[in-house]
Amino acid sequence: MSVAWKSFGGSKVATAVSKATSREIMGPKKKHVDYLITCTSNELMNLSYMSEMLLARCRMPSWVIVSKALVTFHSLMSNGNERFFQQLAARTSLWDLENFLDKTAVTGYDMSSFIKRYSKYLIQKVHSCREMNYDFCRAKRGTDGVLRTLDADKLLKAIAEIQTQIDSLLEVDLQSSEFSNGVINSAFVLLFKDLIKLFACYNDGMINLLEKYYDMNKENCKESLEIYKKFLTRTDQVSKFLTVAQ
């Protein structure tokens, strides 16, 4: 590891991660997250090191630290250089929070449930990127967008992956009564932005699917009908989510 990287990255990144995931019951401070986002575009930055620092915070027993680490990860996936997300997708293991439980207070029990659901969505987001080799939330949309130009087989795979990711996001299932602290609010803003972008891609995919339907083989037609039925169901679920957002 170069002296230049040690000087630029190590201590400053560790400090920014620590401050972004402090014990204050509020969302990660923008200045610390922005610094980490900037670092993802620096060629001297060891992105694996940054991820390790955040993963270490995910292993802490405090719901505040863990949830803020997840929000920071989410912010970096959404706004950092794409190579940060690609580095995450290439990892063999990430956070494992299925059994996370903060027993220190009543709030800890409630937030532990949120952490499990939120972390599951972020894992699915990384998995989708690994499967498709791109992030749906950053994919080009519109008439010449990614989902509008795929062939039938790739399109069916992509739509199925989007459906799974949307399902995972909706399963976070935040209600307006749960917006009791800044940490949840920060996560919800990121989830809301993801859902808008995911659904736009989903819609592009469905338009392409309908255009290709009569040229498909019997098996693909059958799969397309099932996908369309699920699309209608998810449209209702997304509307409910947007009602909470209002």
pLDDT digits (tens, 9 = 90+) for 23-60: 999 999 999 999 999 999 988 888 999 999 999 999 99
pLDDT bracket for residue 67 (50, 70, 90) = very high
- Across residues 8-33, what is the average pLDDT? 90
pLDDT bracket for residue 117 (50, 70, 90) = very high
**pLDDT surpasses 80 at 7:** no
Domains, the chain, in order of start with CATH, read 8-245 (1.25.40.90)
Interatomic CA distance for residues 36 and 79, integer angstroms? 10
Interatomic CA distance for residues 228 and 240, integer angstroms? 19
* CA within 13 Å, CB half, 176: 7
pLDDT bracket for residue 93 (50, 70, 90) = confident
pLDDT bracket for residue 178 (50, 70, 90) = low
**pLDDT surpasses 80 at 245:** no
